[in-house]
Structure 1
Amino acid sequence: MENNPSVMRMKIIMLGDSGVGKSSLLSRYLTGTLEKTGSTIAVSYGEKNMAIDNAEIQLKILDIAGNERFRSIMSSDYRDSHGVVIVYDVTDVDTFRRVENWLKEVRRIESKPVVIIVGNKIDQVNRRVPRSEGLQYSKDKGVLFMETSVLLGSGIGHIFEKLVRKILQERVSEGREQGSPLRNMIPSCSCM
């Protein structure tokens, strides 16, 4: 798939506070298993191929460290991103409140990526952020929303499928514009 010119390549970045489960979510999505992960230092990434409506898509997913001291270094990784996954922990209200800060950073990205906000750890009994609150916040901000449990593996693939479908829906026609980072995402075939 790497050298196939009809493959759409998308860059997805994952943001959120340290400890919300971004690395575990990425690991679960890429391998299908739950692996013990520590805090990300700077950036880690993985790649995964998927097919949506007969389109071959190669995702490059960057897991950006949630620690404040790495943020200024990592802003260059935001460039040319097509989608953003902002993760918070439903058992920690502060991580949900800081979604606003992450969203402000995303709004500064020139490529105007599609955003999905993800509430993680829904398997925990000490939930502090109701689903309705996350859903309403996302609607108010005009972004996608989902909840998941990385531990149980519920809905992991749907997060990325929903995001990619929205990118395709909103951006494919824009991608043909000169200078758009999405132009490289679009295959050169006349399959549109």
Structure 2
Amino acid sequence: MRRRHSQHLPETWLFTDPRMGEALWDAIHQLPRGSGIVLRHYDAADRSVIARRAAKLARRYGHVLMVAGDVRLARAVGAAGVHMSDGGRPVRDVITAASHDRAGLVRARRAGASLVFLSPVFPTRSHPGARTLGALRFGLTGRGTGIAVAALGGMTPKRYARMQALGAQAWGAIDAWNK
């Protein structure tokens, strides 16, 4: 599979969530060097302040930062690119994207994403009661789409190790790093 972006994307990702509070900064510190961070905090009044601090920490620890849905903010803080939500409007700087089904994977590939987070694979606190894909459906959904697929939703390092056999090329989490 040919990548559309020259940048090597990490295998391990942290998805930020406002419910993390100040624990966000510890979570960024706990990540293995060279991990990825998807800054969400969509409705936070201080999103730009959070983004600047996250960018500074990402540079310090050698992480790759993506800003969800905001090209202007991504550029302002020196992020590597933009993370597109499932069904979001494609933009030139999209590098990662979210998807919940095969159609979303195709949309993300057409939008130019290099890595798509397919979710939720397992039950997760951030989306309580959401219908999950499960491991087998995750593998079948991502097969043959022509894009790198990452597992998101209830993921841990141990679960990711199992998901690799089903095609997961990366994984992301909130709670796995929120300790």
Structure (1 or 2) with the larger CA radius of gyration: 1
Q: Which has the higher contact order (CA 8 A, sep 6+)?
A: 1
Structure 1 length-normalised TM: 0.37
With structure 2 as the length reference, what TM-score do the two structures score?
A: 0.39
